[in-house]
Amino acid sequence: MSYDNPLPVIDQDSAPYWEAARQGRLDIPLCADCGKHHFYPRTVCPHCFSDKLSFDTVSGRGTVHSFTISRRPAGPGFADEVPYVVALIDLQEGPRMMSRIETDDVESVQIGSSVEVIFVRATDEVTFPYFKLT
């Protein structure tokens, strides 16, 4: 499979997240001490600074906090994809994450729109969690 756009650097902290996405799950860190989820994967909880973290499969549902419509490609590899939507998604479980919203009508996206996760395979190793309007 050929993919010419930049790919994430998968490290020890983020490997479980990317593996779950490859399997069609949205797994994000959950702190055993304070009970809060967070995003992005890191070695300590940003809420209480505990290192007692595990990955938890979440619903993949949320709402659009903010977004932008990219009408110019972020690089040559994105030229065939414009226009596309990049959004901040407030997950039902609490964290906010940045992702893309897959839609044929970029003008239909609004702040507060309900979304759910979908998975878009880029390579054999990388699958992106994007969102679609619900």
- Tens digits of per-residue pLDDT, 31-47? 999 999 999 999 999 99
Q: How confident is the model at residue 1, as a pLDDT?
A: 54
pLDDT mean over 12-29: 97
Burial 63-90 (b: 16+ CB within 10 A, else e): bbeebeebeeeeeeeeeeeeebbebbbb
What CA–CA distance (Å, rounded) separates 22 from 17? Answer: 9
Q: Tell me if 63 is assigned to some domain.
A: yes
Q: Does residue 6 sit within a domain?
A: no
Q: Which structural domain, as residue segments, surrounds residue 122? A: 15-133
Contact in structure between 85 and 39 (CB atoms under 8 Å): no
Residue 47 lies in a domain: yes
In a domain, 106, yes or no: yes
Report CA Rg, the chain: 15
Give me the pLDDT at residue 75, please: 87
The overall pTM is greater than 0.85:
yes
132, 116 contact by CB (below 8 A): yes
> Contact 130/102 with Cβ under 8 angstroms?
yes
Domain count, the chain: 1
H or E segment to which residue 20 belongs: helix 15-22
Give per-residue pLDDT as tens, 69-122: 999 998 888 899 999 999 999 999 999 999 999 999 999 999 999 999 999 999
Q: Tell me if 103 is assigned to some domain.
A: yes
Is 97 inside any structural domain? Answer: yes
Within-domain flag for 9? no
Task: Grade residue 23 by pLDDT with cuts at 50, 70 and 90.
Answer: very high
